[in-house]
Amino acid sequence: EQDDTRPPVIWLEFQSCSGDSEAFLRSSAPTAVQIILDTISLEYAEIVMAAAGHQAEEARHQAMEKYKGRYIAIVEGSIPTGKSGAYCTVAGQSAEEITRKVCGNALATIAVGTCATFGGLPAAAPNPTEARSVKEVVPNATVLNLPGCPVNAANLSAALVHFLTFGRLPAADRFGRPRFAYGKRIHDNCERRGHFDAGQYAETFGDYGHRQGWCLYKLGCKGPETWHNCPTVRYNDGLSWPVMAGHGCIGCSEPGFWDSMTPFYRR
Ligand code: SF4
Ligand code: F3S
């Protein structure tokens, strides 16, 4: 029996690599199991549900009807609009049609990962499938954007808990990103910042400066232009993040980063 305090969630996946689902399933503070069983009521998510085919679609239709206007939609992946939606269909319906119906009747939508929030890799020039973000497909829907490649599961949990506690989505910036997670630049909290200020840079991968943990700016780091909480929250439950692992930030949470942040290895 449905526990009324847990909001029903419908998780859609379109043009994606499933990296956001993977990140979510591997989180451990809280675990995906805790969230799925205790915090939300996951009605539909292709990657974790036991049902398949017609049964799965039936579950989605039933949830949409039963909880109309009360469920949360989570969308992963971009939505192709070219060729009348033929590039991505589920059960004979185009991703665009499904997004309109599911997000259009949701209480709120959370777009996870850079593909759902800004189009991501599929939308990179020349964007052969005419991929769009969730907000572009349903401009009137209430959408919170959690970009990142992949989304940081800690930020998804925090957004869900905020929603459950306050009954509304957290305050967002002009790109629809919650300020609690995207309010500061990578560069402002980076542990290599002292080296940047001191003019100590790695010049090539594996050189003395690189091994000493010096700043990766000259190796192409886009931390100065990127807004995300990676240095403080980190990935894999606080274990590490790109710059800590010795690789510059590639700006994965910024709109159009595949076109605007490349080449990744040069300034
Ligand atoms: Fe800034 Fe990148 Fe250098 Fe860190 S490694 S201080 S984010 S330029
Ligand atoms: Fe992405 Fe840069 Fe963080 S590449 S994961 S925004 S450090």
Interface predicted TM-score of the whole assembly (ipTM), two decimals: 0.98
Which residues have a Cβ under 8 Å from the Cβ of 209 and sit 6 or more positions away? 195, 200, 201, 202, 203
Which residues have a Cβ under 8 Å from the Cβ of 143 and sit 6 or more positions away? 103, 108, 109, 110, 111, 134, 135, 176
Testing ligand 2's pocket by substitution, the residue of 145, 215, 252 carrying the most ligand atoms inside 8 A of its CB is 252
| Ligand 1 centroid – CA 42 distance (Å) | 39
Q: Which ligand is nearest to the CA of 229?
A: 2
Return left, alpha or beta for 43; rule: phi > 0 is left, psi -120 to 50 is alpha, else beta: alpha
CB 79 within 8 A of CB 135: no
pTM of the model: 0.95
- Tell me, what's the pLDDT at 202? 98
Provide residues with CB under 6 Å of ligand 1.
186-187, 190, 192-193, 196, 215-217, 221, 223-224, 243, 248-249
Hunting for tokens 């997670």 — which residue is that?
A: 181
- Tell me, what's the pLDDT at 4? 62
Nearest CA to ligand 2 atom 2: 249
CA dist 86 and 96 (Å) reads 10
Output the tens digit of pLDDT for each of the chain's 267 residues. Answer: 444 678 899 999 999 999 999 998 888 777 877 888 788 899 999 998 999 999 999 999 999 999 999 999 999 999 999 999 999 999 999 999 999 999 999 999 999 999 999 999 999 999 999 999 999 999 999 999 999 999 999 999 899 989 988 989 999 999 999 999 999 999 999 999 999 999 999 999 999 999 999 999 999 999 999 999 999 999 988 899 999 999 999 999 999 999 999 999 987
For the chain, strand residue ranges (E) read 8-13, 41-45, 72-76, 79-80, 89-90, 93-94, 108-112, 131-132, 143-146
Give the CB-side neighbour count of residue 137, counting CA atoms within 13 A: 32
Minimal CA–CA distance to 235: which of 215, 252, 213, 210?
252
| Ligand 2 centroid – CA 212 distance (Å) | 21
Q: Which atom of ligand 2 is the closest one to the Cα of 186?
A: 7
Instruction: Determine if residue 103 is labeled as part of a ligand binding site.
Output: no
- Tell me, what's the pLDDT at 32? 79
Which domains are seen in the chain, by residue range? 8-180 (3.40.50.700), 186-260 (4.10.480.10)
- Tell me, what's the pLDDT at 164? 86
Q: Which ligand is nearest to the CA of 217?
A: 1
Measure CA of the first residue to CA of the last residue in the chain; give whole Å.
56
Backbone angles phi, psi at 74, to 5 degrees: -115, 130
- Tell me, what's the pLDDT at 222? 98
| Ligand 1 centroid – CA 219 distance (Å) | 10
Which residues have a Cβ under 8 Å from the Cβ of 254 and sit 6 or more positions away? 118, 147, 222, 225, 226, 227, 260, 261
